[in-house]
Amino acid sequence: MDFTFSEDQLLFQESVRDFLVNEITPDKIRQLWETDSGRSDELWQQLAEMGLTGLTVPEDFGGLGMNELDFVLLAQEAGYVALSEPLVNSVLVATPLLSECGNSAIAEQWLPKIASGEARAVVGLAVNKLVEDAHCADLLLLEKGGAIYAVEAANASLRANESVDPGRKLFAVDFDPAAAVCLAEGGAAQALINKALNRGALGVAAQSLGLAQRMIDLSVRYTSERKQFGVAIGSFQAVKHHMANIAYKLEYAKTPVYRAAYDIANDTPRADLSVSHAKLAACEVADLAAKNSIQVHGAMGYTWEVDLHIFMKRAWALNSSYGTAGFHKNRVAAVLLADNAALGAGATF
Amino acid sequence: MKLEYTAEHQAFREEVRSWLKANVPAEPLKSFDTEEGFQQHREWEAKLYEGRWGMITWPEEMGGRGADLLQWLIFEEEYYAASAPLRVNQNGIFLLGPTLMEYGTEEQKKRFLNGMATGKDIWCQGWSEPNAGSDMAAIRSRADLSEDGSHYIINGQKTWSTRAVWADWCFGMFRTDPESERHRGLTFILVPLDSEGITVRPIPQLDGLPGFAEIFFDNVKVPVDCRLGGEGEGWSVAMATAGFERGLMLRSPARFQETAKRLVELYKANQETADEDPSIREAVLRAYMDAEAYCLTTYQTACRLMQGGKIGAEASTNKIFWSELDQQMHATALKILETRGELLPESPDAGDVGRWLDGWLFAQSGPIYAGTNEIQRNIIAERMLGMPRK
In B, which residues are within 8 Å of A216 by CB distance?
A: 385
Active-site position among B45, B245, B258, B314: B245
pLDDT digits (tens, 9 = 90+) for B217-226: 999 999 999 9
CB contact under 8 A, B5 and A1: yes
User: Where are the CATH 1.20.140.10 domain residues in chain B?
Assistant: 251-384
* 3-class state of residue B98 by DSSP: helix
Contacts of B74 in chain A (CB under 8 A): 346
DSSP H stretches of helix in chain B: 7-23, 35-50, 69-81, 90, 97-103, 106-118, 234-246, 253-269, 271-274, 278-306, 314-337, 356-363, 373-379
3-state SS assignment for residue B383: helix
Q: What is the DSSP letter of B350?
A: -
pLDDT for B250:
62
Mean pLDDT per 10-residue interval, chain A, length 349 residues: 97 98 98 97 97 98 98 98 98 98 96 98 98 98 97 98 98 96 97 98 98 98 98 98 98 98 97 98 98 98 98 98 98 96 95
Residues from chain A contacting residue B376 (CB–CB below 8 Å): 244
pLDDT tops 60 at residue B190: yes
Q: Has B245 been annotated as catalytic?
A: yes
Q: Indicate which of A218, A251, A284 best probes the interface with B, i.e. most B CBs within 10 Å of its own CB.
A: A251
Of A332, A345, A347, the CB nearest to B289: A332
Contact A256 B293 (CB under 8 A): yes
Which residue is closest to B309 within chain A, CA to CA? A4
Confidence (pLDDT) at A107: 96
Read off the pLDDT band of B390 (50, 70, 90): confident
Residues 5-44 of B with CB under 8 A from A: 5-6, 9, 13
- Of the candidates A244, A329, A343, which has its C-beta nearest B264's C-beta? A343
User: Within 10 Å of residue B308's Cβ, how many Cβ atoms?
Assistant: 6
Tens of pLDDT along B277-320? 999 999 999 999 999 999 999 999 999 988 988 877 788 899 99
Of B260, B296, B303, the CB nearest to A2: B303
Q: Strand, coil or helix: what is B209?
A: coil
Q: State the best of A3, A69, A327 to mutate against chain B, taking most chain B CBs within 10 Å.
A: A3
CB A236 within 8 A of CB B389: no
Mean pLDDT of B263-274: 97
Measured between beta carbons, the chain A residues lying within 8 angstroms of B321 are 248-249, 251-252
Domains, chain A, in order of start with CATH, read 188-336 (1.20.140.10)
Q: Residue B380 and residue A262: Cβ atoms within 8 Å?
A: no
Asked if A252 and B295 come within 8 Å (Cβ–Cβ), the reply is: no
**Taken in order B261, B265, B271, B277, is the CA torsion positive or negative?**
negative
**DSSP one-letter code for B140:** -
What's the CA gap between B256 and B318, in Å, rounded? 12
Q: Which residues of A touch B77 (CB under 8 A)?
A: 345-346
Instruction: Yes or no: say if A56 and A91 are a contact pair by the CB < 8 Å rule.
Output: yes
pLDDT at B243: 65
CATH 2.40.110.10 in chain B: give the residue spans.
123-233
Q: Do B261 and A345 touch (CB under 8 A)?
A: yes
Q: State pLDDT tens for residues B19-47.
A: 999 999 999 999 999 999 999 999 999 99
Q: Does B2 touch chain A (CB under 8 A)?
A: yes
Q: Establish how many alpha carbons lie within 13 A of residue B257's alpha carbon, considering only the half-sphere containing its beta carbon.
A: 26
Predicted local distance difference test score (pLDDT) of residue B63? 86
Residue in B21, B262, B387 to test binding to A, most A beta-carbons within 10 Å: B387
3-state secondary structure of B230: coil
One-letter amino acid identity for B184? Answer: R
pLDDT of residue A344: 95
Confidence tier at B238 by pLDDT (50, 70, 90): confident
Residue B246 has pLDDT above 60, yes or no: no
* 3-state DSSP of chain A: CECCCCHHHHHHHHHHHHHHHHHCCHHHHHHHHCCCCCCCHHHHHHHHHCCCCCCCCCHHHCCCCCCHHHHHHHHHHHHHCCCCCCHHHHHHHHHHHHHHCCCHHHHHHHHHHHHHCCCCEEEECHHHCCEECHHHCCEEEEEECCEEEEEEHHHEEEEEEECCCCCCEEEEEEECHHHCEEEECHHHHHHHHHHHHHHHHHHHHHHHHHHHHHHHHHHHHHHHHCEECCEEHHHCHHHHHHHHHHHHHHHHHHHHHHHHHHHHHCCCCCHHHHHHHHHHHHHHHHHHHHHHHHHHHHHHHHCCCCCHHHHHHHHHHHCCCCCCHHHHHHHHHHHHCCCCCCCCCCCCC
Query: Min CA distance, B6 vs chain A (Å)?
Result: 7
Contact list in B for residue A332 (CB cut-off 8 A) is 285, 288-289
Q: What pLDDT digit, counting tens, does each position of B86-139 carry?
A: 999 999 998 899 899 989 999 999 999 999 999 999 999 999 999 999 898 999
CA A284 to chain B, closest CA, distance in angstroms equals 12
* CB-CB under 8 Å, B387 with A220: yes
**Fold held by B251-384:** Butyryl-CoA Dehydrogenase, subunit A; domain 3 (1.20.140)
Which chain A residue is nearest to residue B382, measuring alpha carbons?
A240
Classify the complex by whether its ipTM is higher than 0.95, answering yes or no.
yes
The second-level CATH assignment, the architecture, of B123-233 is Beta Barrel (2.40)
Q: Is B169 helix (H, G, I), strand (E, B) or coil?
A: strand
Q: Do A3 and B300 touch (CB under 8 A)?
A: yes
Average pLDDT of the segment spanning B317-338: 96
- Residue B307 touches partner A, C-beta closer than 8 Å: yes
The closest of A257, A247, A253 to A289, measured between CA atoms, is A247
Average pLDDT of the segment spanning B63-79: 94
